[in-house]
Amino acid sequence: MNKTQELPEEYKDDPSSRKFSFTYLTSPLLEDERLDVYDKATAFGIAYYVDKSPVIWPGKKAIAKIASISERKVQECIKKLEECGYLKVERRRDPKNPAKNLSNLYTMHYLPRQSYAP
């Protein structure tokens, strides 16, 4: 989830001063031993796009760029995050052309929807 804050006063004179944001993941996700570093990077890449709405639709290319991993690895990690209950994925098709995929809709769950017992 992104949180936007104003710069502290001591930085206000800096010509590059502007709003900046934080992206965070919850401890249960970070501590979940079922997830590896790529899964967590992917979760971070998805969380980066969460703002006011929990439902987002970044493409895999955008997620891969933020996570610094390949699009193929993002696909694998999305499946794992979904299986572990941290992510709900709605796969969409273009209503005008059902053979064409649209961006998936993602809903991030900061606590798993099922037990994550090791």
- Distance of alpha carbon 113 from alpha carbon 118, whole angstroms: 15
Higher pLDDT, 116 or 11: 11
- Distance of alpha carbon 73 from alpha carbon 64, whole angstroms: 8
pLDDT digits (tens, 9 = 90+) for 41-92: 999 999 888 876 778 888 899 999 999 999 999 999 999 999 999 999 998 8
Given a contact cutoff of 8 angstroms between Cβ atoms, the answer to whether 108 and 53 are in contact is no
**H or E stretch at 21:** strand 20-23
- Distance of alpha carbon 118 from alpha carbon 97, whole angstroms: 43
pLDDT of amino acid 115: 43
Domains, the chain, ordered by start: 2-7+20-108 (1.10.10.10)
3-class secondary-structure state, position 8: coil
Task: State the pTM of this model.
Answer: 0.74
